[in-house]
Amino acid sequence: MGKVYQRILLKISGEAIMGDMGYGIDSQVVQAVAQEVANVVAEGVQVTIVVGGGNIFRGVRAAAAGMDRVTADYIGMIATVMNALTLQDALEQIGVPTRVQSAIAMQEVAEPYIRRRAVRHLEKGRVVICAAGSGNPFFTTDTTAALRAAEVDAEVIFKATKVDGVYDADPFVDPNARRYQSLNYSHVLTNDLRVMDSTAIALCKENNIPIVVFDLSVQGNIHRAVMGESVGTIVGGYCEVI
């Protein structure tokens, strides 16, 4: 069976690389994620990564505690740069060429985000890691993922989470929670299902970009998803519960 996707956007939240720690970066988890990415790059898949920063800093939370929201959001964006460089290192340790592109100018450590250049890197087989979110406060890295996916013409967003898809109730709380096989964008928005924030979902809807929600900690999931296997919930299809 051949690959279904040629160009993917992988959204990795900060929490996904925090592992079981309460804060920061779990290097073993990062290495495992890098290996997963390397496996699909080896298949010729072009990969753009948008990484979050919630394992280090969240603007909304700091603002709720009294900090100026814009300043807090800038700190959040800078936090994503640390995660981006960590991922870059892990990927390059195993021979995967990468470029970090930052939405906030930081020329000593990363290229600026330039769409045409990002696409060129992808064509050359380099993994592009997008750092500093969208560069704008009041946004999230989920929205950045939707934006960059549209910009670089990614066929799909792989949204890595800690659960194996989208449920109609919290599976950690409700034992009868049912997992959706597929969902449409409107259903996600109307029922406030926590796939990505509503701005991100709206952007995906407008640009017809499907979102695969899957558990990153299950080994081989990215590869399986690239091969078209069902590994979680796909948003962008028909609404159906399994």
Q: Which among 141-149, 160-168, 170-178, 222-230 is the span making contact with ligand UDP, rule CB under 6 A?
A: 141-149
Nearer of residues 130 and 234 to ligand UDP, judged by Cβ: 130
| Sole window of 92-100, 112-120, 139-147, 232-240 interacting with ligand UDP (rule: CB under 6 A) | 139-147
Structural contact between residues 212 and 234, judged by C-beta atoms closer than 8 angstroms:
yes
Which range of residues in 30-38, 130-138, 186-194, 218-226 is near ligand UDP by CB under 6 A? Answer: 130-138
Angle between helices 115-123 and 141-152 (to 10 degrees): 70
Site for ligand UDP in 42-101 (CB under 6 A): 52-54, 58-60, 72-73, 76-77, 79-80
Question: At closest approach, how far in Å is the CB of 67 from ligand UDP?
Answer: 10
Q: Which stretch binds ligand UDP (CB under 6 A): 29-37, 122-130, 132-140, 206-214?
A: 132-140
Q: Which residues of 140-173 are buried (b: 16+ CB within 10 A; e: fewer)?
A: bbbbbbbbbbbbbbbebbbbbbebbbbbeeebee
48 burial class (0-12, 13-18, 19+ CB within 10 angstroms)? buried
Q: How many CB atoms lie within 10 A of CB 57?
A: 20
> Which helix or strand (DSSP H or E) is residue 50 part of?
strand 46-51
Binding mask 1-30 for ligand UDP (x = CB under 6 A): ------------xxx---------------
Counting Cα atoms < 13 Å in the Cβ hemisphere of 59 gives: 22
Q: How far is the CB of 22 from ligand UDP (least distance, A)?
A: 14
**Measured from the CB atom, is 184 or 199 closer to ligand UDP?**
199
From the list 41, 133, 146, 201, which residue makes contact with ligand UDP (rule: CB under 6 A)? 133
Minimum CB–partner distance for residue 92 and ligand UDP (Å): 22
Q: Residue ranges of the alpha helices (H) in 129-220?
A: 141-152, 185-190, 198-207
| Integer Cα distance of 193 and 197 in angstroms | 9
Task: Please state the closest distance from residue 142 (CB atom) to ligand UDP, in A.
Answer: 6
| DSSP SS3 for 102 | strand
Among 9, 84, 118, 139, binds ligand UDP (CB under 6 A): 139
Q: Given the rule CB under 6 A, which residues bind ligand UDP?
A: 13-15, 52-54, 58-60, 72-73, 76-77, 79-80, 133-134, 136-137, 139-142, 144
